[in-house]
Amino acid sequence: MKPMEKISELGMELPSPPKVAGLYKPVIIDRGILYFSGHLPILFDGSLITGKVGRDLSVDAGKQAARQVGLNILSSVKQALGSLDRVASVFKLLGMVNATEEFTQHPQIINGCSELFKEIWGDDMGVGVRSAYGVSGLPAGVPVEIEGAFKLTD
C-alpha cells in the first residue's frame, strides 16, 4: 500500500508544510538520502504545541507532540518530492525533548514519531536508527524537535 493510502486508511491527514523560520533548507537530497531539518509540533491551525515535558506536559502529551512533528515532517517531504512514494525507508531520526532536569523518558516521547512512521511503512522500512535526548529548551518553547533522514528509491 502506498504511503498516502496508508495515511488515509489510518484516518490521518497531513498539515500544510511548515514555513521556513530561519536560514536553512527544510529538505536536502544527496546521493539517495533525503535529509530533513528539525521540525516542530505545529498544529493544523498554525499554532505550536508548547511546554516542558515533566512540568507542563505528561509523557502521553509529549508523545502526541512528537507524532505531530512526524506529520509535519511527512508534509515537508511530500512537498519536496511531490509524493511520499519515493521514500524507501526511515534511515535516521534525532529527537530532542525539552524536559525537566529529572525527566528520563526521552525515548518514549520520540516514539510518537517513530510509531507513526512504523504505522505507515511497517517494521522493516518504517524503523531506522535513532537517538533521543533531553535539552533545556527548544525554539518557541516547544516540547520536541526532530530531524533525520529517509533513504529514497532510485
- Contact assessment for residue 21 and residue 46, using Cβ atoms and an 8 Å cutoff: no
Number of domains in the chain: 1
pLDDT at 52 over 90: yes
57, part of any domain: yes
Which structural domain range is residue 103 located in?
A: 3-15+25-152
The enclosing domain of 128 has a CATH number of: 3.30.1330.40
- Contact assessment for residue 128 and residue 90, using Cβ atoms and an 8 Å cutoff: yes
The DSSP line for 13-64 is ---PPPPP-SSS-SEEEETTEEEEEEE--B-TTS-B----BTTTB-HHHHHH
pLDDT tens profile 80-99? 999 999 999 999 999 999 99
Q: Please, is 127 exposed, middle or buried when counting C-beta atoms within 10 Å of its C-beta (0-12, 13-18, 19+)?
A: middle
Average pLDDT across the chain, whole number: 97
Backbone angles phi, psi at 123, to 5 degrees: -65, -45
120, part of any domain: yes
- Contact assessment for residue 72 and residue 18, using Cβ atoms and an 8 Å cutoff: yes
pLDDT at 154 over 90: no
Question: What is the distance, to the nearest Å, from the Cα of residue 113 to the centroid of all Cα atoms in its chain?
Answer: 5
Question: How confident is residue 77, by pLDDT bands cut at 50, 70 and 90?
Answer: very high
Question: How confident is residue 18, by pLDDT bands cut at 50, 70 and 90?
Answer: very high
20, part of any domain: no
62, part of any domain: yes
63, part of any domain: yes
